[in-house]
Chain A
Amino acid sequence: GQNIDQPTEMTATEGAIVQINCTYQTSGFNGLFWYQQHAGEAPTFLSYNVLDGLEEKGRFSSFLSRSKGYSYLLLKELQMKDSASYLCAAMDSNYQLIWGAGTKLIIKP
């Protein structure tokens, strides 16, 4: 079956760095997405990786290893506004998105 695993909840300190991991098992693979969802708001697109390696966008970076079925989202210089849920989704060979249950990130002062 197809599956996405990511931690349910993580806690980090303002100004620090946090890495949110995601492992996936899909029938074929056409890319890995990360979305951010603040409580009561719409999920918003953060990143898309289809090739191995690290993609950097300001304070946020996303990494992919296709051979390991693994991705992570790295958040640097954490701010209180980064408190949110982070959703990992992999696209299978039929271009269908397989979603994880999301990681709730709590930032403490």
Chain B
Amino acid sequence: ETGVTQTPRHLVMGMTNKKSLKCEQHLGHNAMYWYKQSAKKPLELMFVYNFKEQTENNSVPSRFSPECPNSSHLFLHLHTLQPEDSALYLCASSHYGESGANVLTFGAGSRLTVL
């Protein structure tokens, strides 16, 4: 496989469930990201990992818990979510650098519905 792969593509869960989203990149990139995409709203950056170290957490509620076991894999653990958390969750990767174009390669997303 090539690119960025996200599983599952669709997830329906109750507010008391615990589930995880998985992301895998086959591009040799050193940075991975979680974004939330809601209809008609800008992409919201949730978490950033550079070389497996979390470098950004944009005031995300603790019911979202990221995990980056290595530079190719990224997880988003979900528990006690709220209906307003229903959205498309996008994973992305890039060659992190502080200059020049930091082009993101996105996965197709995990569509989450919280009942």
Contact = CB atoms under 8 A, between A and B. Distances in A.
A25 to B, nearest CB: 13
A8 interface: yes
A41 to B, nearest CB: 6
A31 B101 CA distance: 7
Interface stretch (B12-20, B63-71, B76-84, B103-111): B103-111
Contacts, number: 47
Given A33-B101, A42-B90, A48-B101, A8 B40 contact: yes
B115 interface: no
Contacts of A8: 40
**How many A residues are at the interface, by size bracket?**
20 to 34
Given A48-B101, A48-B103, A42 B108 contact: yes
Contacts of B104: 35, 43, 45, 97
B42 interface: yes
Interface residues of B, number: 18
A42 B4 contact: yes
Nearest to B40: A101
Given A31-B101, A95-B98, A97-B45, A42 B40 contact: no
A42 B107 contact: yes
Interface of A: 4, 8, 30-31, 33, 35, 40-45, 48, 50, 87, 89, 91, 95-102
Interface of B: 4, 40-43, 45, 90, 98-99, 101-109
30 contacts: A4-B42, A8-B40, A30-B99, A31-B101, A35-B104, A35-B106, A41-B108, A42-B90, A42-B105, A42-B107, A42-B108, A43-B90, A44-B106, A45-B104, A45-B105, A48-B101, A50-B101, A95-B98, A95-B99, A95-B102, A97-B45, A97-B102, A97-B104, A99-B42, A99-B43, A101-B40, A101-B41, A101-B42, A102-B40, A102-B42
